[in-house]
Amino acid sequence: MNQSGWFSLEDIEMQHQIDAANPPIIRERKLPEKLDMDSILSQYQSIELNPNLIKYIVNESNTNEQPQSINLKSKIKLRCEERDLEGNLVNKGTNNIQATKISMASTIPYIQGLKSAFLSMKEGDIAWFKLSNEQMYTEQEIASGITVQNLQKYFKIEILEVTQPEIPLDLKNLDNRLKQMELFKIEGNQFYQKQQYQSALLRYQRGLNFLEKWPKKYEDNPVAIEAKRNSLLVLSSNKAQCLIKLQDFKQAISVLEPIIGQMRNKQYEVKNYYRLITCLKEIDEQVKADFYFRQVSHMCQLSPEEKKLFQSIKIKK
């Protein structure tokens, strides 16, 4: 076991990271400044969605899984190439159209103007749209005297990802309350993986605050009691790990010391002794560090590798 394994979160498999020495090669595809739109669009099946909007299907998702459709509450990750009536690229100076995220609930005119286009698509789809609509133009463009029939643009839209807002759980139900506890841990772990330690810390703390408001009606329920206890230990353990990453060793100690005795025979017990002793060494609390070193050596069955690792921090000056 290497030392880094002692500073990982509970109950989560860390994702493989790309070697910084061998980053992926990204080749940019330069977009032509101008396209013959009539020629391009003639290749694709067209559908008139409304008098102001025609869709040209470039590609439809053919995944085996049910692709996510778009509705009025969806959040979308997409790429959008915009061209004027003559086929000139509007996103000038751009080699690659960058992915962007939008909400269908947004009041931004462009999003509102393309709402019918988005609603006709699902995750994985690519399509061109020919749109004639005043709403797509700025007040300055309208004021320039362009006639309504010439208010026409082309958009090539690629839907990369569609997500739906989650419906809040009914926390009067025990199963949902247990699910919510797990969600705090999962969401915190996701922030941790992205090295967003402060955000992860706040999410774990929200979970701990949630446990403090545990309804009295579950105090005699063995399943609820055990689930609450386990969640308290895991959330506290992960909170301490975030504090260590943020180098707030005193606060990490204040989290770990009250619960270290409750971790008896838990799979993360030894790991948290290691964290606690390391933090105490960092703030020169040698007497306490030695106390917990003796405790873990006496109470836990340490493997030879674990004994060596603890010994290395014990003699570290």
Looking at residue 80, its amino acid is C
Q: What is the pLDDT of residue 85?
A: 86
| Dihedral sign (CA 68, 72, 78, 80) | positive
Identify which of 289, 75, 97 has the alpha carbon closest to the alpha carbon of residue 162: 75
Q: Which residues pair with 100 in a beta bridge?
A: 78
pLDDT digits (tens, 9 = 90+) for 227-238: 889 999 999 999
Percent of the chain residues past pLDDT 90, beyond the cut: 38
How far apart, in whole angstroms, are the C-alpha atoms of residue 75 and residue 89? 26
Mean confidence (pLDDT) of the chain: 81
Question: Is residue 45 over pLDDT 80?
Answer: yes
Question: Does residue 66 or residue 239 have the better pLDDT?
Answer: 239
Pairing of strands 100-103, 45-50: unpaired
pLDDT digits (tens, 9 = 90+) for 114-128: 899 999 999 999 999
Tokens at 311, concatenated: 């010994």
Q: What is the pLDDT of residue 14?
A: 36
The set of residues, in sequence order, having a beta carbon less than 8 Å from that of 64 and lying 6+ positions away, is: none
Query: Is the CB of residue 258 less than 8 Å from the CB of residue 244?
Result: no
Percent of the chain residues past pLDDT 70, beyond the cut: 80
- Is domain 167-314 classified as CATH 3.30.1280.10? no
Q: What is the pLDDT of residue 264?
A: 83
How far apart, in whole angstroms, are the C-alpha atoms of residue 105 and residue 73? 6
pLDDT digits (tens, 9 = 90+) for 70-81: 999 899 999 999
Question: Is residue 313 over pLDDT 80?
Answer: no
How far apart, in whole angstroms, are the C-alpha atoms of residue 121 and residue 101? 15
Strand order in the sheet with 75-83: 45-50, 53-59, 126-132, 152-163, 75-83, 100-103
Looking at residue 39, its amino acid is S
Q: Domain map of the chain by residue range? A: 37-163, 167-314
Class of domain 37-163: alpha beta
Query: Stretch 277-298: mean pLDDT, rounded?
Result: 86
pLDDT digits (tens, 9 = 90+) for 18-38: 344 454 444 446 788 899 999
pLDDT digits (tens, 9 = 90+) for 122-146: 999 999 999 886 656 556 666 776 6
pTM for this entry: 0.51
Q: What is the pLDDT of residue 4?
A: 47
How far apart, in whole angstroms, are the C-alpha atoms of residue 86 and residue 130? 12
